[in-house]
Structure 1
Amino acid sequence: MHITEIEARELAPNGILRAAINTGNAVLARREPAPVGASGVSVDLAQHLAQQAGLALELVIYATARDSVQGVKNGAADFGFFAIDPKRGQDIAFTAPYVLIEGSYLVAEASPIQDIAEVDQPTHTVVVGQGSAYDLFLTRELKQATIARAATSPAVVDTFLQSGADVAAGVRQQLEADAQRLGGLRLLPGHFMLIRQAMGVSHSRGPRVAALLSRFLEDAKASGFVAEAIARHRIPGVAVAPAENTLA
């Protein structure tokens, strides 16, 4: 995809492309020692965009999705990688998704809960990462269960165990890894939400920048770049989102 000099200046007014990277979702990004900072599918996409725009890239690394959204909203980063959510959409213009990830529930092996439909009960407490897509979704959807919030998504299972809660909610891959690490835990079958991970930019940057990100991402999906990044980082259970029409 060709990005003009004018488009590059609109994308990165400071002359350096600043990408907000959320390392709280280990499926898409993880911390690395300096000077690398972070690696993963979202980092690969940020590098690919910078190369096509002829810009130097700066990774603005955050530990949580909430802080990553805030960084793009307040101008500390030019764009970021987020799960699409209507509340975030008040501040962020999203592209179509580039990958689809399952949001799952984890319980203790001895728990009587066997099905997702059994979770929303007044006696149950569900632990989520504060400000995560799962927090936003379950805050809207759970009508009876209590929601407890861990400081970050990677801390959900440890918080769940320490607090004696009934259910942990998060990215399937993270929960599977924690269950394997700790033992005595199991995932409920199926998923409570299908997370649509997208790129996003502050509405204040205008529709032209949002359209540019959308065109870039559709090209990255169609060319096989996203699928190759998923394979390169060995991420099981993540699907490339289907193609969608880009903005005019």
Structure 2
Amino acid sequence: MPLSSALRPLLAPAGTLRAAINTGNPILARPAGDGGAEGVSVDLARRLADQLGVPLQLCVFDAAGKSVEAVTDERADFGFFAVDPVRGAGIAFSAPYVLIEGSYLVRYDSPLQDNAEVDAPGHRLVVGRGSAYDLHLSREIRHAELLRAPTSPEVVATFLAEQADVAAGVRQQLQSDAAHHPGLRLLPGRFMVIQQALGLPRSRGAEAAQALAAFVEEAKASGFVAQALARHGIEGASVAPPAG
């Protein structure tokens, strides 16, 4: 469904749609062999560029914080982010298109058995710097100490190197890392559900934000998001319900 050509100056003012892609979240994107990226968010970026009738440029970052900065500073036209009020200061979000679980990982011999036990004095909790988990836990954790890995994919390595008590992140990433490091286990359940949305600089105005939001709703309703999740073999993430 082509978008109005009147939206091109708002969504792609340079004539090319610049999409900030975060490969630190393997559910949504991962590095490609050519130095680019592939995944659900890349598929959505291509769909938006096609509907606008403009070329697509991928701006690939290895951490969520870097992607947020690129869009906030208008070095990219839009990006794919977990909705968070801190990021919302400079970014206008659509409704979510995907929901992802956040989990905790510990050693097999850890006494921790439940998510509610993590926030206690003396516990050290590792999280990816600038990630949605970092932002959420920075507000919610009252007693445990937060340690920050440079990026989300480095959380488990930092957890092991620092001999910390808990690692926090995307369930699928933690499961993958645990498979390569015997002696680790995930706590049951989840400590948060992350709402993944599209976002653009607030300076682009209400009309641009509304157009991006409408694009997301159409991508969900048409089955495109569900098909992209299936095409890339993604498990543990679900299509978000319609806005409202």
TM over 0.5: yes
Q: Distance in 2 between matches of 1:157 and 1:215?
A: 37
Matched to 1:14, the amino acid is A
When the two chains are superposed, the root-mean-square deviation of aligned CA atoms in Å is 0.8
Partner of 1:28: 28
Matched to 2:193, the amino acid is L
Partner of 2:225: 226
Q: Distance in 1 between matches of 2:243 and 2:27?
A: 23
Displacement after TM superposition at 1:4 (Å): 1.1
Partner of 1:98: 97
Partner of 2:187: 188
Matched to 2:63, the amino acid is T
Is the CA contact (8 Å cut-off) linking 2:115 and 2:190 kept in structure 1? yes
Matched to 2:217, the amino acid is E
Displacement after TM superposition at 1:2 (Å): 3.3
SS at match of 2:158: helix
Which contiguous aligned blocks of 4+ residues in structure 1 show a shift greater than 4 angstroms?
none
SS at match of 2:47: helix
Gaps spanning 5+ residues in structure 1: where? none
Partner of 2:3: 3
Partner of 1:179: 178
Displacement after TM superposition at 1:9 (Å): 2.2
Partner of 2:72: 73
Q: Distance in 1 between matches of 2:28 and 2:2?
A: 25
Count of aligned positions: 244
Gaps spanning 5+ residues in structure 2: where? none
Q: Distance in 1 between matches of 2:211 and 2:3?
A: 8
Matched to 1:7, the amino acid is L
SS at match of 1:100: strand
Percentage identity across aligned positions?
Answer: 59
Matches within 5 A, 1:93-242: 93-242=92-241
Q: Distance in 2 between matches of 1:177 and 1:13?
A: 40
Q: TM-score, normalised by structure 1?
A: 0.97
1:16 corresponds to 2:8: no
Q: Distance in 1 between matches of 2:206 and 2:61?
A: 25
Matched to 1:155, the amino acid is E
- Deviation per CA, 1:187-210: give whole Å up to 9, x if none: 000111100000000111111111
Displacement after TM superposition at 1:212 (Å): 0.6
Matched to 2:177, the amino acid is D
Partner of 1:52: 51
Q: Distance in 1 between matches of 2:113 and 2:34?
A: 43
Matched to 1:28, the amino acid is L
SS at match of 2:235: coil
Is the CA contact (8 Å cut-off) linking 2:2 and 2:50 kept in structure 1? no
